[in-house]
Amino acid sequence: MGLRYEKPRGVRHPRRAVATALLVAAVASACAAPSDGSGGGPGAQGRPAPGQPQGQPQGASGALNAYVEKIRKQRAARVLAAKKWGLDRPPLEAPAPPAVKPKITTRKGFETDGEGLPPVFTTVPTKEKVVFLTIDDGAEKDPELLRMMSELRIPYSAFLSDYLVKEDYGYFKKMQDAGVSLHNHTLNHRYMPGLSYTAQKREICGMQDTIQKRYGKRPSLFRPPYGNYNENTLRAAKACGVKAVPLWASEAFPDRMEWREWDRDLHPGDIVLTHFRGKEDWKGSMPDMIRRVMSTITAKGYAVARLEDYV
Ligand SMILES: [Zn+2]
pLDDT at 30: 37
Mean of the pLDDT values across residues 4-31?
39
Q: How far apart are the first and last CA of the chain?
A: 34
Q: Once rounded to an integer, what is the mean pLDDT over residues 285-291?
A: 97
What span, in angstroms and rounded, lies between the C-alpha atoms of 100 and 97?
A: 9
The pLDDT > 90 percentage for the chain reads: 74
288 C-alpha vs ligand 1 centroid, how far in Å?
20
For the stretch 58-80, pLDDT in tens is 677 888 899 999 888 888 988 99
What is the chain's mean pLDDT, rounded?
Answer: 86
From the CA of 226, how far away is ligand 1's center (Å)? 6
Question: pLDDT at position 5, please?
Answer: 38
Q: In the chain, what are the domain boundaries?
A: 2-84, 120-310
Residue 295 has pLDDT above 80, yes or no: yes
User: Ligand 1 centre from 100 Cα, in Å?
Assistant: 30
- What residue spans of 188-253 are helical by DSSP H? 197-215, 231-239
Please state, in angstroms and as integers, the Cα–Cα distance from residue 66 to each residue in 37, 45, 110, following that order. Answer: 15, 7, 49
* 73 CA distance to ligand 1 middle (Å): 38
Q: Report pLDDT digits (tens) over 151-176.
A: 999 999 999 999 999 999 999 999 99
Q: Distance from the CA of 149 to the center of ligand 1, in angstroms?
A: 21
From the CA of 12, how far away is ligand 1's center (Å)? 46
> Ligand 1: distance of its center to the CA of 303 in Å?
24
CA of 48 to the centre of ligand 1 (A): 52
Distance (Å) from CA 241 to ligand 1 centroid: 20
Q: Supply the pLDDT for residue 58.
A: 62
Give the pLDDT of residue 150: 95
User: Which carries the bigger pLDDT value, residue 188 or residue 45?
Assistant: 188
Compare 70 and 1 and report the one with higher pLDDT.
Answer: 70
282 C-alpha to center of ligand 1: Å? 15
If one compares 30 and 221, the residue with the highest pLDDT of the two is 221
pLDDT of residue 74: 86
Gap between the Cα atoms of 219 and 217, Å rounded: 6
Whole-number Å distance between alpha carbons of 311 and 309: 6
- CA of 61 relative to ligand 1 center, distance in Å: 51
List phi, psi (to 5°) of 258.
-120, 140
How much is the pLDDT for 251? Answer: 98
**d(CA 300, ligand 1 centre) in Å:** 27
Residue 310 CA to ligand 1 center (angstroms) comes to 22
Question: How many Cβ atoms are within 10 Å of 14's Cβ, its own excluded?
Answer: 8
Q: How far is the CA of 223 from the centre of ligand 1 (A)?
A: 8
Q: How many CA atoms lie within 13 A of 243 on its CB side?
A: 10
Contacts of 237 (CB under 8 A, 6+ apart): 117, 118, 204, 222, 245
Task: Give the CATH superfamily of 120-310.
Answer: Glycoside hydrolase/deacetylase (3.20.20.370)
Q: Which residues contact 261 (CB under 8 A, 6 or more apart)?
A: 249, 250, 267
Residue 178 one-letter amino acid: A
Using DSSP bridges, classify how beta strands 250-252 and 257-259 pair: parallel, antiparallel or unpaired. antiparallel
Which position has the higher pLDDT, 6 or 102? 102
For residues 84-108, give the mean pLDDT.
96
Cα 225 to ligand 1 centre (Å): 5
pLDDT digits (tens, 9 = 90+) for 99-155: 999 999 999 999 999 999 999 999 999 999 999 999 999 999 999 999 999 999 999
Distance 190 CA to ligand 1 centre (A): 9
pLDDT at 57: 52
Quote the ligand 1 centre to 59 CA distance (angstroms). 53
Nearest-angstrom CA–CA distance, 304 and 268: 10
Q: How far is the CA of 135 from the centre of ligand 1 (A)?
A: 9
Using the Cα atoms of residue 22, residue 28, residue 32 and residue 36 in order, give the sign of their dihedral.
Answer: positive
Are 296 and 87 a contacting pair, CB within 8 Å?
no
pLDDT at 255 over 80: yes
pLDDT for residue 179 is more than 80: yes
Distance CA 179, CA 173 (A): 10
Say if residues 121 and 246 touch (Cβ distance below 8 Å).
Answer: yes
